[in-house]
Amino acid sequence: MSDTHKEAARLRGETRTAAVEARVREAMVTIQKEMAANNGIYPQNGGAVSMNEVARRAKISETTLFSPKQKELGKNVKAWVESLKKTEVVGRKNVQRTVFERSEDWRNKYLALQDVHIATELDLQDANVQLQDAQKALVELNNNYDAMLEQMRAGGTSKVTPFRKGNR
């Protein structure tokens, strides 16, 4: 192989290496964004984040991160995954437990809301009964008023005599 061919091959290799590194870094950023958007839980792969998952998201072979040319990148990815395991909920079992805890919290909130709704419905029924009783009492009072007014008018002339003004 001539020197120009070797140089061209080396440049192509460096370009591929840089492209792989860029894709891996982009995959790591994407994973962090997805975890931030899902309350710290990785929404794919059952919640497990690993070097293989980073490779899958970067669309590279799983063995690429272990190759001699990408050894340093593999160490960086491994350190990143380890730091995630210390700060975030990572791993299928941990995610399942966390999802169970969250679902239990939502279930408790639902049951509390259901209890409040039942109490509100009972209060509404009680208020409707009181309203009906008050309306019946109002109708009865109006009927009594009308009956008394009718009796007063039917009684004829008034027996009340006004006092004269001035002279007594």
Q: Which two tokens stand for residue 28?
A: 């790591």
The neighbour count for residue 25, using CB atoms within 10 Å, is 16
| Tens digit of each residue's pLDDT (9 = 90 or more) over 4-52 | 888 888 788 778 888 888 988 898 888 888 887 877 777 777 777 788 8
Kindly report the pTM of this predicted structure. Answer: 0.50
Residue with tokens 């272990």: 66
Query: CA–CA separation, 83 vs 54, rounded Å?
Result: 14
Three-point CA angle 79, 82, 85, nearest 5°: 155
> What pLDDT score was predicted for residue 92?
58
| Tens digit of each residue's pLDDT (9 = 90 or more) over 68-112 | 888 888 888 888 888 877 766 565 566 666 667 778 888 999 999
DSSP assignment of 110-124:
HHHHHHHHHHHHHHH
DSSP 164: P
